[in-house]
Amino acid sequence: MATLYEEYTLCGVGPDKNSSSSGILGIELGKDVDHIIVTNSSRAVTVYKVSDQKPTGSWTVKQGQLITCPAVYNTKSQEYVVVTDNKVIRVWKEDDVNMEKAFKATVSSDVLRVIAASDSEPVVLFSCGAVMFLDSLLASPQQTIEGVLTEEEFIRWSTVVGAEHQLVLLFCTEKRGEHYLYAQRFNPNTVVKHRFETEPGPFAPISFSATCRGSNIHLQYLYMSGRIYESVLPLRSSVSEAEGVQALPRSLCLSLPLGEQELTSGAAIVLDEAHVAIVGFPHPSAGAGKDYLCIWNKHFQTLQACKELAGTIYSQIWCYSGKLYIPHGKILSVISFECQKSSLAAAMGKLKQTNQSESKSHTPLSSWTALPHNDSINAAKVKSRMSTRNASNVKSPLTVDQLIDHIKTAVVEDVQSAVGEFIHQTPQTDLQLAAGKVTMVLVSRSQTDDSFYPQRAFLQLLDTRYLCYSVCPELLSLAMAKRDFQLCQIAFQLFPDIPEAVTCAYLKTILSTPDSEMETLTLDTESLIIMKEMSPAQSQMEEGEQQNENGVSSSKQQRDFLSMDMKCPVGLHKGVLLNDVLQTAYSDKPLLQHLKDLTVLQVMVFLQYLHFLYLKYSQDVHKQIRALRIPSISQVIDWASLILDAHFTVLAVAPEAKSLVSDLHKFTRSQVKLYAELGKIEGSLQSLKKPKSTEHTGVYSIEVIELF
Amino acid sequence: MGEFKVHRVRFFEYVPSGIRALAFNQHNERMAAAKMNGSVEIFHCSDRFFQEKIIPGREQAGIEGLTWVGERLFSAGLNGVITEYDLTNQRVKYTIDAYGGPIWAITGNQQGTHLAVGCEDGTVKLFEVTEDKIQFERNLDRQKGRIISLSWHPSGSKIAAGMMDMIQVFNVETGHSKHRILVDRGYGTSRGKECVVWSVVYLSDGTIISGDSVGMVKMWRDDTGTLIKSHNITKSDVLSLSVSQNEDSIVAGTSEGFVVQFQFLSMVLENNEKDWVRTRTFRNHTHDVRAVAEITTAVVSGGMDTQLVVRPLLDKHEVKSSASKLRKIQFPHRSLVSCARKAGTLLFQYPGHLELWRLGESEGEGIPGSSLLLKRKPEKLLHLKVKGEDHIRCSAVSPCGEWIAYSTTSSLRLYKLHCDSNNVSITKISKLPKVLGSASQLCFSSDSTHLFSASTQSSVHMVSLSQPECKFVATFKTKSGSHQAIHLLAASEDGKWLASANIDNEVHIYNLQTRKAHCTVPIYSSAVSAMAIHPTTNCLFMVHADQQIFEFSIEQKEYTDWSRLVQRQGLHRIWLERDTPCLNVTFNQKNPSHVILHDMYMFCIIDQSQPLPDSKSQFLNQLTLRSLPEEQRKSYSHAFKVCKTFKELLCVDVMGDQSLVVVERPLEDITAQLPAPIKQKKFAT
């Protein structure tokens, strides 16, 4: 999982007249991880202390001079280095007030960039492709520089990666639409030239990011087509390096969904092995033209976190020590992030706990399998209706694009029938890809158009089982906004990847909806039956108890002590919905965070319901085993612990919670006692099973044995 | 194969002594263990923990601490003296009084220059380690209250000392206390009780780790004296701590009988910030774990329940082998029982006395698996107390049953036994040749006319037995340079040959008629754990600690064909994986091809005339063979007849009437004699 924290502004940026550039030439790391150097494309270099959001030093060049490369900090000599007017290298210390008075040296050829490398001298990259260490260049600044690049070849991007005392300078060039990668290694100095494979279409790589892992360099680059490729280069050059241009083997790591419009810019940066941060690309479900920062997990191809940024995004992004620096609008924002190690379990949350395997065979069809039946009727109706209206349409099924166009304009009924038609006629393999796309279009129209809400179409799409949360994240929030609990329930039953935030939001919605409103809902029948079974069982028991009361008084006492009788604190339908929430997959830590959003009243109701379930299960354990769609006792206990954790302080002081908490405590204590006793019995029985010690033979005997 | 009459003996009431201290020597891979009775034992960690050396204890010699300085071993105890051991001759080299009252802790620095001892009077005393002795140097600042535990900083410039309620950090240079770290007492009722810092460990990064009587393992910073981390691992005491060589792991022994491992790990993957994390709990003991030591690949622990447990750390083992198995050492790797074959008596060796028993007699015959009626019960003939405070090192009874010899580290004694029908009397042979001194191993010739006594420098003295005087006959010396003490002797039945084995794995054979060294068996890498000379073929049969078997023809001076066959085919996996060494080899007089061996859990008759088991055949096949009809047995049987009917064996031998004697010492009987453990998990009580 990845988390983006609240952003804060570091400084303003002054966009140029043509606002395609942010005005920031570059951001480099300062003397430690809390200091960064922001180089303005105008004339200023400013050092900020990030945690204080304050500048600690600023230097400007004289009028008429121009800074042409981002300033860097040389950790070895603890000096700042910048290049002005392409040829003048300036070096100054933190204490120097005026940059003009500091050291400067004019070199013979145009410098493109000075690149800082940790634990090493900065590297100077000339526009002609030559590379030198700064100290050796400054030793004789006027030395002639030999060009590496050919005519009309320009450097687009450059970086230095290094590990194990091995530095590699990478830079990418463009020459008449062809893109090349140069890898310059030092000691011995070697240059290897690679050619990027061309994408079909007019797409070119627009953003690069290189990291060093183990003994390999991982270079990731983003194409305008939204594809991110990764190429792996060895950190150390092999001895038998072939001459000439080599092809760069690549593998596709991520394919970003593109909006409708053509993209010209965008930036991606690698955060760790699995995560990549991207700006300038549209959010898969938000409409086009919105500016988002997204963190994607390339292992699972999932969107992990996103944040909408105000103002124009300039396709610039930097990342230093857990913080992203993004200029947008008129500010430079700092956004902290955290990427947890991805594992399948972390990505998917806790696995859904299925009950007994035998129960599965019992009910091979899941709850709303009644729907396909309905569907076929619907589809038949649709067919007939459509055939009467437009016979030609029936014969040639709609293509995805046609359907999408149709959705954008048609009225709800037409859309629903068209979707139904589409699902029936599209082959399964195509449907898998199309379902998500269609849903997204449906969702985005519903979001913009209040009167448009094709519930039946959504249900049909859900029924294909090709949807999941990652495919259409907005569907659930839309359904919640429309209070479409039926859809939500099915989605919660089917989606394996609902984020904890959404689960909590849904929980909140359920708890805040009055029961009276709920009772009119049409919900999955099987769950309803289970809930009904639970509640009458309760009333029956109460009757039984009353009968008992006349004869046997002990049972009554027992009952009071454990306070076993409890009415279902929520309505039938609310209970059904809550049951589905309880069975959702989740991870403890993130969920806990979001659970804190619940109000005290909601917490109380929820806890009461959990208490109720717990009591029910403890009373008749055998009954719950039969049902498939019902939370298991461990799920109930897990949730109860979580909610207690999240609201412990509140529950401790809220007067209305007192009786509930003490009841729960009493009951749990009695259960603990019971299980402790069970443990003893188990121990005794186990020791019975142990092989009995051999019969006592006394201290001496004479025996006869036979060996074979 | 046939039937055997077996005397099943359980009246040897041997109780091993608890383990008080452990010291591991990284360089020669030896583990030294100090026992409650004052004896010190040396185990070879890379030779299957074979117990190489036993330095017997004395009465009233409670050892509290044990430490290696280079190849030298020192101990100190509550009698207030520091002892250095002569490991070659397996005896105490010298003792020095520290003049500080009882000593609670002793530890040498890594440089091997100094010893520090912690005394009852509150001083830490430094001793300089000189070439052949130690020399008192000075006291560090005297504290109020006893010094319970000590640990040197690896640099040798600082010492942490555990006391009552506090830890003192000393600067060795100045002798002044740099820091005083107060350790919390327990809560509730234990608030009033002092907290004893039973153990401290000083790491090179300045972390001090303490284990105390409140049940806490605490990590402190030495420069600030602040508590970094604290783990409550037990309700009772944490008695012992040990750190691994590279300081990334610590084990703590508790009085509830479990050992807890802490590891210095980073909490987040690929993050260098490390922390001490409690990782594993080993529950192999029932009583106090008084000593732990982490060696390269295992955790070794010992305590009141007398067993030495070697618990391998499986992450340090790449292949499954004998070293990656849990090993428990309960009994010494020496025979404590000797049999007078012709007289039918057994001699039991206890630390402070000897017992001589006559076996019982049976009546009639019985079917296999049955017990016979006893005609006569076994009878204790003799209870011989040792003179002086030293414990017995070795003992032997002659085959005729008339001579008994034992040796302590200081003297050897020989007795003549007179048995009338009812009366038993002994006379001590007072005039022994001067040369005898003390013996590391004793052995009588098969005709009971001579005694062989293994002496210093791997030499063996031979004396002829007669009353009232014994005559010195000869001394056999090795040509090799080894001075290690001999731990095994074997004389041939015809009185012609004598074999001796020492801890340098040398086996020498002497010709008793010419009284000269005859030859030396090629040296094998593992120690000899048992050997005997075959009565008819005069082949020396040897079993090693790594379970390999060799047969060496003395007359031909070469390995026999059978031995070569064994080496060529290899022994069966199950045989090699056994974890206790063979302790005795004897032969079946009726059938010369039968060799009888035993270890702690089984005895085995090797029929050299039968084919060896190959890797596919069933090794433990007695039950299978029993169920098969006679004619099919042959195709299934192989040379190794393993009998597991008897367990926890101390001795298996053959008597003159061809009956077997097995001496069992069930572990439950030992446990019953131990004090009750602090805590025991009980159900349904």
Q: Do A683 and B683 touch (CB under 8 A)?
A: yes
Phi, psi at A586, each rounded to 5° = -160, 165
Q: Is the pLDDT of residue B598 over 90?
A: yes
Q: Which residues of B touch A687 (CB under 8 A)?
A: 683-684
Nearest-by-Cβ selection for A702 from B368, B372, B605: B372
User: Is residue A37 one of the residues assigned to a domain?
Assistant: yes
Mean confidence (pLDDT) of chain B: 91
Lowest mean pLDDT among A590-599, B71-80, B642-651: A590-599
For each of the domains in chain B, give its residue range(s) and CATH number, in order of start.
524-672 (2.130.10.10)
B271's CB contacts (< 8 A; 6+ apart) are none
Q: Is the pLDDT of residue B276 over 60?
A: yes
CATH number for the domain that contains residue A59: 2.130.10.10
Residue B118: how many other CB atoms lie within 10 Å: 31
Q: Which domain holds residue A607?
A: 400-534+564-656
- Cα B576 from Cα B62, distance rounded (Å): 38
| Whole-number pLDDT of residue A377 | 40
User: Is residue A315 one of the residues assigned to a domain?
Assistant: no
Nearest-by-Cβ selection for A700 from B5, B8, B645: B8
CB contacts < 8 A, A to B, total 91
Phi, psi at A8, each rounded to 5° = -140, 155
Q: Is the pLDDT of residue B200 over 90?
A: yes
Q: Is the pLDDT of residue B526 over 90?
A: yes
B643 touches chain A (CB under 8 A): yes
A391's CB contacts (< 8 A; 6+ apart) are none
pLDDT in tens, B137-176: 999 999 999 999 999 999 999 999 999 999 999 999 999 9
Nearest-by-Cβ selection for B633 from A687, A702, A708: A708
| Domain's final residue, options A122, A148, A174 | A148
User: Is residue A691 one of the residues assigned to a domain?
Assistant: no
| Whole-number pLDDT of residue A385 | 41
| Whole-number pLDDT of residue A379 | 41
A707 touches chain B (CB under 8 A): yes
Band the pLDDT of B499: cuts 50, 70, 90. Answer: very high
Q: Which residues of A touch B643 (CB under 8 A)?
A: 705, 707
Mean pLDDT throughout B202-230? 92
B633 touches chain A (CB under 8 A): yes
| Whole-number pLDDT of residue B81 | 93
Mean pLDDT throughout A565-571? 77
A390 touches chain B (CB under 8 A): no
| Whole-number pLDDT of residue B635 | 85
Band the pLDDT of B251: cuts 50, 70, 90. Answer: very high
Mean pLDDT throughout A206-233? 85
Q: Do A707 and B683 touch (CB under 8 A)?
A: no
pLDDT in tens, B122-140: 999 999 999 999 999 999 9
| Whole-number pLDDT of residue A557 | 39
Mean pLDDT throughout B289-318? 91
| Whole-number pLDDT of residue A632 | 83
CA distances from B653 to A43, B50, B259, B371, B640 (A): 100, 22, 38, 19, 17
B571–chain A nearest CA distance, Å: 20
Residue of higher predicted confidence among A99 and A623: A99
A535's CB contacts (< 8 A; 6+ apart) are A568, A572
User: Is residue A617 one of the residues assigned to a domain?
Assistant: yes
Q: Which residues of B touch A683 (CB under 8 A)?
A: 683-684
Q: Is the pLDDT of residue A376 over 50?
A: no
Q: Is the pLDDT of residue B210 over 90?
A: yes
Residue-wise DSSP of B272-287: --EEEEEEEEE---SS
| Domain's final residue, options A613, A635, A656 | A656
Q: How many helices (H) and strands (E) does chain A have?
A: 22, 29
Band the pLDDT of A558: cuts 50, 70, 90. Answer: very low
Q: Is the pLDDT of residue B593 over 80?
A: yes
B517's CB contacts (< 8 A; 6+ apart) are B476, B477, B478, B479, B508, B509, B510, B511
pLDDT in tens, A105-115: 888 888 888 88
Residue of higher predicted confidence among A312 and B521: B521
| Whole-number pLDDT of residue B336 | 94
| Domain's final residue, options A656, A683, A701 | A656
- Which of A77-81, B135-139, B433-437 is modeled with the greatest confidence? B135-139
A703–chain B nearest CA distance, Å: 4
Mean pLDDT throughout A167-173? 87
Structure tokens at B67: 């430490």
| Whole-number pLDDT of residue A341 | 63
| Whole-number pLDDT of residue A364 | 32
Mean confidence (pLDDT) of chain A: 78
Residue of higher predicted confidence among B86 and A590: B86
3-state secondary structure of A13: coil
Q: Do A704 and B6 touch (CB under 8 A)?
A: yes
Residue whose structure tokens are 């204590």: A669
B1 touches chain A (CB under 8 A): yes
| Whole-number pLDDT of residue A19 | 56
- Cα A130 from Cα A107, distance rounded (Å): 13
Nearest-by-Cβ selection for A706 from B3, B668, B684: B3
Band the pLDDT of A238: cuts 50, 70, 90. Answer: low
Q: Is the pLDDT of residue A212 over 90?
A: no
The domain tally of chain A equals: 2
| Whole-number pLDDT of residue A535 | 67
Q: Do B9 and A706 touch (CB under 8 A)?
A: no
Mean pLDDT throughout A681-696? 72
Mean pLDDT throughout B615-642? 88
Mean pLDDT throughout A516-528? 78
| Whole-number pLDDT of residue A31 | 84
Q: Do B683 and A697 touch (CB under 8 A)?
A: no
- Cα B579 from Cα B651, distance rounded (Å): 17
Band the pLDDT of B102: cuts 50, 70, 90. Answer: very high
Contact call for residues A127 and A68 (beta carbons, < 8 A): no
Contact call for residues B34 and B66 (beta carbons, < 8 A): yes
**What percentage of residues in chain B have a pLDDT greater than 90?**
72
User: Is residue A467 one of the residues assigned to a domain?
Assistant: yes
User: Is residue A357 one of the residues assigned to a domain?
Assistant: no
The separation between CA B640 and the C-alpha centre of its own chain, rounded to angstroms, equals: 27
User: Is residue A220 one of the residues assigned to a domain?
Assistant: no
Band the pLDDT of A344: cuts 50, 70, 90. Answer: low
> Chain A: residue nearest B3 by CA?
A706
| Whole-number pLDDT of residue B453 | 94
- Cα A11 from Cα B391, distance rounded (Å): 85
Mean pLDDT throughout B337-351? 93
| Whole-number pLDDT of residue B536 | 92
Q: Is the pLDDT of residue A380 over 50?
A: no
Residue-wise DSSP of B312-369: E-GGG-SS-SGGGS-EEE-S-SS--EEEETTTTEEEEE-SSEEEEEE--EEES---TT
A511–chain B nearest CA distance, Å: 37
Q: Is the pLDDT of residue B323 over 80?
A: no
Residue of higher predicted confidence among A532 and B124: B124
| Whole-number pLDDT of residue B50 | 94
User: Is residue A339 one of the residues assigned to a domain?
Assistant: no
> Chain B: residue nearest A705 by CA?
B368
Contact call for residues A224 and A206 (beta carbons, < 8 A): yes
Q: Is the pLDDT of residue A378 over 50?
A: no
CA distances from A352 to A498, A499, A613, A644, B162 (A): 12, 14, 18, 22, 52
**pTM of the predicted model as reported, rounded to 2 decimal places:** 0.57
> Chain B: residue nearest A706 by CA?
B3
Q: Which of 509-568 (B) contact A at CB < 8 A?
A: none
| Whole-number pLDDT of residue A287 | 60
Cis peptide before A188 (omega within 30 of 0): yes
Q: Is the pLDDT of residue B480 over 90?
A: no
A136's CB contacts (< 8 A; 6+ apart) are none
Residue of higher predicted confidence among B206 and B318: B206
pLDDT in tens, A596-654: 888 888 999 999 999 888 888 887 655 554 556 778 888 888 999 999 988 888 888 88
3-state secondary structure of A227: strand
Phi, psi at A458, each rounded to 5° = -60, -45
- Which of A187-191, A583-587, B514-518 is modeled with the greatest confidence? B514-518
Structure tokens at B388: 């002086």
Band the pLDDT of A285: cuts 50, 70, 90. Answer: low
A699 touches chain B (CB under 8 A): yes
